[in-house]
């Protein structure tokens, strides 16, 4: 049977339309793809290559860069500072991720109300997120001041002088918890907005059906709200974990990894090794290993939460 031109014309026009849409899609996404390649993929590939060399920050013509194989990676096994920094990252993430996620869900539930001036409270809760972390760290440094800090003053007032003052940023036992409190306060608004969007996407008829079945507010939260927020929770937990492992700014501004490496993190260790001591090759090896660790944790979280959702 011969196919007439009239029959092939719609197919051809549809194919041409599809090719045009594909071309437009690639054209619109190309600026973002170029930026990702230049500032994300290419630097990581360079770090991966430099991790097998003894590259210095300032090249020396008399001492050329050499290929050293796995020497930088084997050095990580005996680097106590790296071990302490990685442990601090895990402790920080283990505390901040669940606490910040819980507070974010609580705040989102509180502001997911049709009340007067509710947008004002949403703005107040979200304002720390849009404040520069350097500014936040400086302000909290004053708040943690052992002499005239507001936090010590409040503790002494409430305890009638029996507690405090505490050297929050000078005591190795208190420095990391103090930075945890700051980080939770500063970042909880970001997760709150994500949870708020998830709460507003839950159909009202689910709550109406639960009320008909006699479920109270608490039962509605556990059997309607939480199951409907599983995808949101997966996103919040994974992103919060990645942000927790990227901890750098507040530590560096306030204590620079001290005292006694009590707040040392892997990113600070990379910065010190690469830019302070000029060991670009070793800093690149730390970066590659740290990237693989964070990637494995993020994928494990996603798989675990997805499997839990399917149960």
| Domain map (residue ranges) of the chain | 1-39, 51-310
Find the range with the poorest average confidence among 12-21, 136-145, 174-183, 255-264.
12-21
pLDDT of 165 reads: 86
pLDDT of 12 reads: 76
pLDDT of 252 reads: 93
Find the range with the poorest average confidence among 114-123, 213-222, 284-293.
114-123
Q: pLDDT tens across 224-241, in order?
A: 999 999 889 988 998 999
Residue 86 phi, psi dihedral angles, 5° rounding: -65, -40
3 state SS of 48? helix
Indicate the pLDDT class of residue 5, thresholds 50, 70 and 90: low
* Torsion angle, alpha carbons of 166, 169, 170, 171, to 10: 60
More reliable by pLDDT, 195 or 5 = 195
Predicted TM-score of the model (pTM): 0.85
3 state SS of 106? helix
In angstroms, rounded to a whole number, what is the distance separating the alpha carbons of residues 102 and 96? Answer: 10
Mean pLDDT across 17-44:
88
Find the range with the poorest average confidence among 26-35, 114-123, 184-193, 199-208.
114-123
Please check the confidence at residue 308 and state whether its pLDDT lies above 70. Answer: no
Q: Nearest Cα to 88, choosing from 256, 257, 295? A: 257
Q: pLDDT tens across 48-105, in order?
A: 999 999 888 887 777 788 898 899 999 999 999 999 999 999 999 999 999 999 999 9
Please check the confidence at residue 8 and state whether its pLDDT lies above 60. Answer: no
Domain spanning 51-310, CATH architecture = Orthogonal Bundle (1.10)
């Amino acid at each position: 049977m011969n196919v007439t031109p009239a029959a092939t014309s719609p197919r051809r026009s549809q194919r041409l339309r599809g090719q045009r849409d594909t071309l437009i899609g690639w054209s619109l996404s190309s600026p973002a793809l170029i930026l990702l390649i230049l500032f994300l993929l290419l630097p990581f590939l360079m770090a991966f290559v430099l991790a097998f060399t003894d590259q210095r920050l300032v090249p020396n013509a008399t001492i050329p860069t050499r290929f050293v194989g796995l020497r930088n990676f084997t050095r990580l096994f005996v680097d106590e500072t790296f071990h302490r920094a990685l442990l601090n990252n895990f402790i920080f993430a283990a505390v901040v991720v669940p606490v910040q996620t819980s507070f974010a869900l609580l705040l989102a539930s509180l502001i997911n109300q049709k009340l007067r001036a509710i947008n004002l409270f949403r703005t107040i809760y979200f304002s720390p997120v849009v404040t520069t972390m350097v500014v936040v760290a400086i302000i909290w440094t004053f708040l943690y001041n052992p002499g005239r800090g507001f936090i010590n003053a409040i503790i002494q007032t409430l305890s009638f002088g029996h507690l405090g003052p505490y050297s929050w940023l000078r005591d190795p036992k208190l420095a990391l918890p103090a930075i945890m409190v700051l980080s939770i306060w500063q970042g909880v608004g970001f997760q709150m907005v994500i949870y708020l969007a998830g709460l507003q996407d839950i159909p009202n008829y689910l709550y109406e059906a639960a009320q008909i079945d006699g479920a109270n507010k608490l039962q509605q939260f556990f059997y309607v709200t939480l199951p409907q927020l599983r995808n949101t929770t997966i996103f919040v937990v994974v992103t919060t974990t990645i942000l927790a492992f990227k901890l750098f700014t507040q530590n560096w501004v306030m204590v620079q990894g001290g005292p006694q490496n009590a707040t040392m993190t892997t990113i600070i260790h990379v910065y010190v090794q690469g830019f302070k001591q000029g060991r670009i090759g070793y800093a690149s090896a730390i970066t590659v290993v740290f990237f693989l660790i964070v990637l494995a944790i993020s994928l494990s979280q996603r798989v675990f939460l997805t499997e839990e959702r399917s149960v």
